[in-house]
Structure formats: structure tokens, C-alpha cells
Copies of this chain bind each other. A is one copy, B any other.
Amino acid sequence: MTKEDIERLVESLEGLPPGGALPVGTMGVEEVRAEDIADVLSDVDEATKVLIVSLLSDEKAAEVLVETDENTSQTVLEHMSQQRMVRLLDLMDPDDAADVIELAPDDLQAGVLAGLEEEQQRSVRALHEYPPQSAGGIMTTEVIAAGSQDTVAATLEVVGEAEQPEASTAVFVTDAAGTLVGVVALQDLLGADPQAEVQSVMDPDVISVPLEADQEEAARQVERYNLASLPVVDAAGRLKGVITLDDVIDVLAEEASEDMLRLAGTSVLHPTTEPILRRLRARAPWLAITLAGTFFAGLMLEAIELKWFGGTGTTSYFSALLYFVPLIAGMAGNVGTQSSTIMVRGFATGEVDPTRPLRVLRGELILAVMIGVMAGIVVGAATTLFFSVDGLGLVVGLALPASILTAALAGTLIPFFCHSIKVDPAYAGGPFLLTLNDLAAIAIYFGVALALKDVLAGA
């Protein structure tokens, strides 16, 4: 069963209520990789998410919950019994379990935690003591550590018996007090004399980070020194856990997304899977800054004309229109850049499927309409209040949503088009798109002004 098979299965399931009859062939879902199931889950409606997870074995369901996006996990956990939650969490690595339990309904979390196996429970509680974005928050507590005076043979035996720890390349070495004193590659242990003490083959120059280090700082260390894993120590230098490369990759990707999206003026990490209102809240402050700043630019231009260039004490309809060009162009540019950045980053992280523009277009357009209408009303009213030019508020208030919608459409579709003709969408999504949106916004704005000129004059 391939990913395509799952997608077909899901299409046949869509709308089926949880607990409905099992369609033929669902058993095959177990053979699909958890990451692929997770991917499909992100795209389907709530009932289907819940249904698919209910069809999975505990082992598979645990993996899928770790891999899928947070919103999907939340939805699935809302409909899961406390008993099953406990079973799934017991199967996860402690760092994953610590993350997933936070997505469960608030009233169940304490009960689920209390139901976990003793060691898992202790690990999860320990991990919850550290901020989620710290080294302590992302490390796993399952570490293979050897005593410095253990023999190579004994250490290799311990490694062979350990249950699938995430970090299996490097063995960390501690002294009697649990202090980290060295590291040795598994491979070097294999090449060493079995009876030698581990401390004679280890590298004592081991890089570690403190529990409270920022996750980005930790990831940077791993990236910089090409480490296979990074031990995390407490204030006394005792080994508390290890950060593995897959965590590092996640952190680096998350930080890159964060930077890119913040530069574009939106502060959610998964801008295509979050609920619309949360997406709106993430963008609104930046758009409000642009709106306020460019409205101020309009006031400034009027003041300049009246004080230094006017003489008559009033401004012409046309130059009053020109005052709002920075606002119209700025808002359209801003919204367009948000859309194009979300697409470009989405293609890179796999969050947006570059062959299916319609899946994201709807969300972007709904947002653009909401933003456009709100901005149009606010600016229209403010313009009518502050500028004594008949009908100017109406023109600005109508042109703004129209140009914002156009910009969102261009910002969403141009990256898809570029991808389909094998041009890097990042090239098209930057200054080129911004300039295009400037021109479109100006054309729309004066189009509206001209259309209303006669209407207003006739009134």
C-alpha cells in the first residue's frame, strides 16, 4: 500500500462517521510509513483523521501522532480514550511523549501522566521541568552511558541490549558521580581491545550544552561541529540527556521558518494548517503597522502640499488620491509577500504540495477578504474623518480590499506557476511580485477612483 493508495482510501472514507463500517482494504494501512500516514492526516477533515487513527495499531498510531502536525494531533487526541492515550504514550520516546501529552485535552493530561509506566512517567515529568524551547526541553533522556572504568566488551554488551535509543552512534562516558567525562564512537569501541577500559579509548574533549541552553544555540553547536549527538548536562556537569540529529534538523527548520515568516509579517509556524482566525491574528499586527505608517504618510503628504506647495488651502481630488498610493501599494505588497513567502517556505518544508494550488488558495483568499474588508472599513472611515475630499474615503475603502485580494491571488498562484515551469518560486516571490503588486494596486485604485468620479459627481 503506497501513499497514493492511502489517499484513495481517504477519499472513499471522507465523511464517514467515526466508528462506521470499515471499508475493504484498510488493513493495508499498517504497512504504510507513519510519516506518510501523518501527511495524509493533515489534509483530511476531522472525522477522517479520527477514523484513520482509530484503525491503526497502537504502535503505528503512536508513531503517527509524533509525526503529524500539532492541529491534527490535538483533534485526534480530543476523540481518544484516556486508556488508549496512555498505551500510545508508553510506546513513544520520552521526549516525544512529553510533547504529545501537552496536546491532549487539559482535563485529561494529569490522568494520562499518572497512568504511564513508572520510568516513562518520571522521564516525561523531568522533561516538563524545562522550557519547551530549551536544550532540556528537546533532549531525550534515553542515553547510553558507560562508566569510565567499564570495559569495552561490557559497554558493547550494554549497547546491544538497550532498547532502540534514538542516539546510537556515540556512547557517552561518565564517572562515578555521573559527570560527563568523554565520548566514544560505537565504531571505535568495535575496533578497540575488548578488555580495555572505556576511558582509555574515549575522547575526553566532549562538547555539551547546559539544560537551560536555547534550542537554537544547541542546534548551532551540532551544526557547527558536525556532531552526531549533543549531550545535555546539569549545572554540576552531570549527563541528563542527549539531543539527536533529527531533533536538530527539526529545530533548524523551525527557526528558518520562523525567521522567514516573521520577515514577511506573520508569526505562526504552520501558516497553512492553523485555523483561519489564528492565522489572521498572526498577520494582523504587522498589517496594522503598515496601515498606520502609510496612513501617516498620507497625512504627511497633505501637510507638505498645504504648507509648501499649495497656497490655496485645499488640495485637488487627484493629488488627494496620490496621498494614498503608499497605503494601497504598501498593504497590497505586504499581503502579497505574506502569501508568496508562505508558499515558498511551504514548498521547502513539504507543508504545501506544489502540484495542488487549490488546497491553499482558498485559505489565502478568505484571509485576504477578511483583511481587505477590515482594512477598507478602518481606512475608509479614517480618510473621511481626516481628509475633506468628497468620496475619497469611499474610493480608498473599496480599492484597498480589491488590491489586497489581487495581491493575495498573485502571491499564491505565481509561486505555483513558477514551480510548474521549473523557475525557483523564491525569485518570483520577492521584488518582482512586490513591483507587480504595486502596479496592479495603483491601476485598481485609479480604476475605482475613475468609476466613482462620475458616480460621485452625478450624486
Interface residues of A (CB under 8 A from B): 33, 35, 156-157, 159-162, 164-165, 168-169, 185-187, 189-192, 216, 220, 222-226, 228, 245-246, 248-249, 252-253, 255-256, 258-260, 262-265, 267, 286-287, 289-290, 292-294, 296-297, 300-301, 304-305, 308-310, 316-319, 322-323, 325-326, 329-330, 333-334, 337, 340-341, 344-345, 348, 350, 424, 426-427, 429-432, 434-436, 438-439, 442-443, 446, 450, 453
Contacts and interface: CB of A to CB of B under 8 A. Distances in A.
A450 B290 CA distance: 26
B438 A326 contact: yes
Q: Which 9 A-B pairs have the closest CB atoms?
A: A160-B190, A293-B435, A262-B426, A160-B191, A309-B318, A256-B256, A265-B431, A322-B322, A286-B431
A162 B292 CA distance: 65
Contacts of A225: 33, 35
Nearest to A261: B426
Copies per assembly: 2
A348 B256 contact: yes
Given A186-B187, A225-B35, A319-B322, A249 B246 contact: no
B187 A263 contact: no
Contacts of A223: 249, 253
A256 B249 contact: no
A392 to B, nearest CB: 13
27 contacts: A35-B225, A35-B226, A156-B190, A159-B187, A169-B186, A186-B190, A222-B249, A223-B249, A226-B246, A245-B249, A256-B256, A260-B263, A262-B427, A262-B429, A263-B341, A263-B344, A286-B430, A289-B431, A293-B439, A308-B446, A309-B316, A309-B318, A322-B322, A322-B325, A326-B326, A326-B329, A330-B438
A293 B220 CA distance: 40
A402 B186 CA distance: 60
A218 to B, nearest CB: 13
Nearest to A424: B262
B429 A297 contact: no
B348 A259 contact: yes
Given A156-B190, A350-B224, A435 B290 contact: yes
Given A168-B186, A245-B245, A265-B430, 8 more contacts: A222-B249, A265-B431, A287-B431, A290-B435, A300-B439, A301-B446, A329-B329, A334-B434
A406 to B, nearest CB: 15
A198 to B, nearest CB: 15
A302 to B, nearest CB: 11
Q: Which of A248, A252, A317, A424 has the most CB of B within 10 A?
A: A252
Contacts of A258: 424, 426
A423 to B, nearest CB: 11
A252 B255 contact: no
Contacts of A191: 160-161
Contact of A186 (B186, B304, B329): B186
Contacts of A256: 252-253, 256, 260, 348
A293 to B, nearest CB: 3
Nearest to A66: B226
A293 B309 CA distance: 27
A290 B254 CA distance: 31
Contacts of A453: 308
Given A252-B249, A289-B432, A430-B265, A301 B322 contact: yes
Contacts of A424: 258, 262
A294 B160 contact: no
